[in-house]
Structure 1
Amino acid sequence: MRTSCRFSISIPRPRLGRWERRSARSTSRCCGRSASPFRTMSANNSRKGALHMENNLTYTRNGDYLIPDLKLSEQPEKPLGKYGRMRKAYLKEHRPLIYNQLLQTEKLYPHLLEIDETANSRLEQMMPQLAESAGATEELKARDPMRWVGLMNTCKAQAEEILMAELINS
């Protein structure tokens, strides 16, 4: 004789929180998605709120890719000095948003040139004042040249520290 047994095992399910219960219902309301993935929008709804932009760019085909033909305006060939390069490195590392904005609007190179020229003129202006306050005179230069060089190096380091704080890293 054959006996059949039926077992009924009841595994408790974890209780769903209110967010899990509502997720299926509220997807269509809060996210703008419909419950059916095949639902399409009509022609009137597809343009609603969309921006219409003209694309006046030309493209070059490179294999399977279309690469836009972007040209920068001519920049002067004057090389950047020490302080312009330091400003560029600071902007690139610590202020990438400002760096990219200046780069994309083609204002980066004029900005760096202006910083470099301003820093050099400020350095020329500060050095005699700092040398005088440190006691680096022509008499000291003739009497003890090594001490005079040390004082002038100290003055230049002080001036560059001021420039770094005021112009380069601001």
Structure 2
Amino acid sequence: MENRIYDEKNDLWYEKQGDYFIPCLSLPEEENKPVGIWGQRHLRYIRQHKRVFYANLLTSCKLNSYLADVDAQSENLFCRLVKQLAEKEGITETLKAEDQMLWVQRMNAVRETATEIVNNDLICV
């Protein structure tokens, strides 16, 4: 008897392993895009709070590309917010030249504000 058979009812190949025929299944290849810190944070959130959504992305082989997209959107929003908030607060290069510690304090506050906005708008939704 053959080790592989084809079932026309469900269009699957089966391979004999021991006494049983096991379907020959494989997942499609997923693009391997780099996922940054924002994507990793979103992954942690959906693993804990949106398990069905996470399972659907994982089984459809779309998790990595989805996380890479979320990461790119979050990074763009973060950079744009930091620039806008720094302009709004009056944080300039002249301040950096005159009082570096004050500039660092104010930029850290701006970055923390931008981080919270990104977390609330894109990461934890």
TM-score range, shorter chain: 0.7 to 0.9
Aligned length: 117
In structure 1, C-alpha distance between the alignment counterparts of 2:60 and 2:96, rounded to whole Å: 49
1:156 aligns with 2:117: no
Describe the SS at the equivalent of 1:87. helix
In structure 1, how many angstroms separate the alpha carbons of the residues matched to 2:21 and 2:121?
45
Match status 1:81 vs 2:81: no
- The percentage of aligned residue pairs carrying the same residue is 36
SS at match of 2:48: helix
Say which SS state the counterpart of residue 156 (structure 1) adopts.
helix
Given that 1:91 and 1:99 are in contact with CA atoms closer than 8 Å, whether structure 2 keeps it comes out as yes
Q: Which aligned pairs between 1:97-108 and structure 2 lie closer than 5 A?
A: 97-108=52-63
Q: Alpha carbons of 1:136 and 1:54: their partners in 2 closer, same or farther (altered >3 Å)? A: same
- Conserved in 1, the CA contact under 8 Å of 2:29 and 2:61? no
5+ residue gaps in structure 2? 1-8
Q: Flag the structure with higher strand content.
A: 2
* TM-score for both structures, normalised by structure 2: 0.80
Matches within 5 A, 1:1-170: 54=10, 56=12, 58=14, 61=17, 69-170=24-125
Q: How much does 1:77 deviate?
A: 2.7
Which structure 1 segments of 5+ residues have no match? 1-52
Rg bigger for which structure? 1
Q: Which moves more between the two structures, 85-94 or 105-114?
A: 105-114
Distance across 1 between alignment mates of 2:76 and 2:40: 16
Match for 2:124: what amino acid? N
- Please give the alpha-carbon distance, in whole angstroms, between the structure 1 residues aligned to 2:48 and 2:16: 32
Aligned equivalents of 2:50 and 2:85: distance in 1?
Answer: 31
Q: Is the 8 A contact 2:78 2:115 kept in 1?
A: yes
Cα distance in 2 for residues equivalent to 1:73 and 1:118:
25
In the other structure, the counterpart of 2:6 is none
| Deviation (angstroms), 1:153 | 1.1
Q: Cα–Cα, structure 1 residues 126 and 73, in superposed 2: closer, same or farther, change >3 Å?
A: same
The 1:86/1:57 distance shift into structure 2, 3 A limit, reads: farther
Cα 1:98/1:157, change in 2 over 3 Å: same
